[in-house]
Amino acid sequence: MASTHYVVDTKSSQVTVQAFAEGVAGIADHRPRFSVREFSGEVQYSRDRSDGGSLVLTARTGSLEIMDEVTRHEQEAINRVMFGEVLHPERFPEVTFRSSRVVCSPVAENRCRADIVGTMWLRGVEGAQSIQAQLVLTEDSVRAYGEFRLRQTDYQLTIASVLGGALRIKDELKLGFFVVARKAKV
């Protein structure tokens, strides 16, 4: 059987990024979370093969929005650092992940674990990235959820700091996802 083409339903999906801070006691435990508001993607999958699937996801870097309760002043400061010093969305408007290998292992009926290997392009830097996802398969959709980590320095991102360096974001970011992809209309 040929593979089926699915398109990510962004209204039913969510992608998040979480940073971890280190610094002066009392403020070092801050873990800001951001929602990626604009993204798109495509999935190819065949129920008859454990390998051969594919995934492409693209996110607009300027669409990150803080999810935590912060004051307007804090939000402005976070946005200034994130967009002005780290991501530069005017020069690097997109982040893209493209799989080169997907291997699925069944764990139950209509469920499998996917080991996904591919390439991420972030701020003009290309890097290898591995992702593990749990998949739930239905007749017309694939739901995938999981998380993975990446090191900012692998993509030559500036490690952000505020308060004169008293609070610094750690190198590692955690990305979480719950993605619904629906069978493409022919």
pLDDT digits (tens, 9 = 90+) for 11-56: 999 999 998 877 654 454 568 899 999 999 999 988 777 787 899 9
- pTM of the predicted model, to two decimals? 0.88
C-alpha distances in Å from residue 6, one per residue of 19, 45, 129: 30, 8, 22
The distance of Cα 150 from the centroid of its chain, to the nearest Å, equals: 10
pLDDT of 1 strictly over 70: no
Which of the two residues, 36 and 1, has the higher pLDDT score? 36
Given pLDDT bands bounded at 50, 70 and 90, which one contains residue 166?
Answer: low
* Partners of residue 134 on adjacent β-strands: 113, 145
Could you tell me if 99 and 118 are in contact, meaning their C-beta atoms sit under 8 angstroms apart? yes
pLDDT computed for residue 26 by the predictor: 47
pLDDT computed for residue 72 by the predictor: 86
The distance of Cα 29 from the centroid of its chain, to the nearest Å, equals: 22
Domains and CATH numbers, the chain: 4-183 (2.40.128.110)
pLDDT digits (tens, 9 = 90+) for 74-124: 788 888 888 888 889 999 999 999 999 999 999 999 999 999 999 999 999
Which of the two residues, 169 and 153, has the higher pLDDT score? 153
Given pLDDT bands bounded at 50, 70 and 90, which one contains residue 162?
Answer: low
Provide CB contacts within 8 A for 6, sequence distance 6+.
Answer: 42, 43, 44, 45, 141, 142, 181, 182, 183, 184
pLDDT of 141 strictly over 90: yes
Residues 77, 61, 94, CA angle at the centre, nearest 5°?
A: 155
